Structures are given as structure tokens and as C-alpha cells.
Amino acid sequence: MADNSMTDQNRRGDHSDRRQFPRGGRRTYDQPGRFPQVLVADSYEGARIPCVKYLDRFGFRVEEAADGGEALAKIESMRSHLVLVESGLPNAPLSRIVQRMRGGQVARPVPLIVMTSDPDTDTEGVDRVSLISVLPKPFSLSTMLDEIRRLLREQPPLPTEVSTCSAGV
């Protein structure tokens, strides 16, 4: 009697294992590992921690900030690919955070997602940001992830650093 059961290899056929493909908003030219880097700035720990854990689970490198001063310091010191910020962050109004993002050492536009519970949030000064989104609170974590991925796809690629060697011939 012949065994009619199919092995995993036969069922898959010539298709490669889909688990080999990266997840979490990666692009072909991104670095391997935990990438891209996202800053989550929210004063309410009950909202910030789930966002950080969810993004970490999907392969993002995540930094967090609890107030505006900490967010401004991290914007200056780290090379974020996206910033997720609460509209009413203590110690720094939204316009100051945007001004620091645009006037600082950042050589490329960084997408910004503003989390707000007020639909009439004052986004004055934010109109200069080319990649911005407003995420109304409460939001689902999957909605946040979809929006992050959308903005990262629209972001222009980072300039690649090429080191050249010249050999004396």
C-alpha cells in the first residue's frame, strides 16, 4: 500500500519559505536586524508602552520619550526614520519639536505621526513637514503599524555611504 501523505517539501513545491522575507516596514536596501528606528514620544505610559512593545515585536528599533525635553534630546542624538509624537507633550509644544526636526542636523525629511485625542489639534508650524499624519486617539496598534509602514514607504531612500579605496598602481 502506497503512502499518499505529502511531505512539507512536496506541499511547498518550488516556493521558498515565506518566513525568510523580512517584516516590519523593511525595504531591500535597509540594514539587516532591528530596523528602521522609530521614536515614540507620549507622556501617558499606558499608551506609550504598548506602542513600543508592538513595534518591537514587528522588528523596529524603538526609542521612547516621556516628555518634550527627552523627545528633543533623542531627536538630536539618534537617527530616527520616523517620529510618533503626542500633540500635547509636556515641556515642548509640537511646533518646537517640528522646528528642531527641520532645523537641526537631520539632512533628510523625517516622517512625523501626531497622536491626538483632540480632533482640533493645533498643527500650526507643522505644515512644512512633507510626511505627516495625524493619528486620532484611541487607535488600534495595527492602525498605527499600517500608518508607520505607509509613511516609511513614501519616504525617499537614505543616501548610501560609499567608501572608496584608492590603490597606488
Tell me if the pTM is above 0.75: no
What's the burial of 85, exposed, middle or buried (CB within 10 Å: 0-12/13-18/19+)? buried
> What integer is the mean pLDDT of 71-89?
89
Give residue 3's pLDDT band: very low, low, confident or very high (50, 70, 90).
Answer: low
- 136 lies in a domain? yes
How many folded domains does the chain comprise? Answer: 1
For position 36, what pLDDT does the model report?
A: 86
Summarised one tens digit per residue, pLDDT across range 124-145 is 555 555 568 889 999 999 999 9
Q: Is residue 110 part of a domain?
A: yes
pLDDT in tens, 6-34: 554 444 444 454 455 555 555 565 556 65
Note whether residue 22 is domain-resident: no
Task: Tell me whether residue 23 is in a domain.
Answer: no
Indicate the average pLDDT of the chain: 75
Cross-strand partners of 82: 38
**Residue 123: CATH number of its domain:** 3.40.50.2300
Give the pLDDT score at 95: 83
Judge contact between 151 and 105, C-beta under 8 A: no
168 inside domain: no
Question: Domain containing 97: what range?
Answer: 32-154
| Cβ neighbour number for residue 113 with a 10 Å cutoff | 21
Q: Could you tell me if residue 83 is inside a domain? A: yes
